[in-house]
Amino acid sequence: MTETPELRPVREEQAIVLDHLENGYPFEQVSVKTPIVQALGTEHLTLLELIPKKGTVLQPLQKVYIGEGKREEIHHIKGRIPAEKLTATGRNTLHEAVEEVVDMHEARFIEFFNKAQPLSMRMHQLELLPGVGKKHMWEVLNARKEKPFESFDDIKERVKLLPDPKQLVVKRIVSEIEGKEKYRIFAH
């Protein structure tokens, strides 16, 4: 049976390490603790629990390959984890890791500013970004009519009063990952 693209599970190829617990979770009640890596997938922004290969030491913000091919540092993917399960180090590293993903895939997030549509008669996708109200929304829509945005700097330059657009995206993604948002526009 072949899977249709919509039913195929979301798979990550790369991840950014949020925390590496060499002795597993301290609160686990098992005699042999398994080392755990908490990570953020770079494509779909999913929080993952990974099992590192024996003897591997990983640092926060280190990129690791977790795709189908030969993995150097990671033995296997244990699964997704909720934000509540992140360690203090994992939570503290999350914002920086999200910033790195936004930098890596800037074009994808600029496309959001160029193609965002109304959600309803009263609400626009742009208004889902923290700090963006009707006034900023109209400024963005009018500026993109003239010509599509090319970068975060381009948005900053052409939409004068908009707070830092990159940081708006980063804050929104972190908020989605933490489960604080009704609508998900970036994180899966």
pLDDT at 1 over 60: no
27-74 pLDDT, tens digit per residue, is 766 666 789 999 999 999 999 999 999 989 999 999 999 998 899 999
Q: How far apart are CA 108 and CA 115, in angstroms?
A: 11
CB 35 within 8 A of CB 52: yes
Residue 33: Cβ-neighbour burial (10 angstroms; 0-12, 13-18, 19+): middle
Distances (CA, A) of 2 to 5, 8, 17, 19, 68: 9, 9, 32, 36, 18
| pLDDT (0 to 100) of residue 3 | 43
For 99-108, what is each residue's pLDDT tens digit?
A: 999 999 999 9
Structure tokens at 138: 């109209």
pLDDT tier for residue 9 given thresholds of 50, 70 and 90: low
pLDDT for position 27: 75
- Percent of the chain at pLDDT > 70 equals 92
pLDDT surpassing 80 at residue 20: yes
Report percent pLDDT > 90 for the chain: 77
pLDDT the model gives residue 4 = 44
Sequence-distant (6+) residues with CB within 8 A of 148 are 114
Q: Higher pLDDT residue, 184 or 109?
A: 109
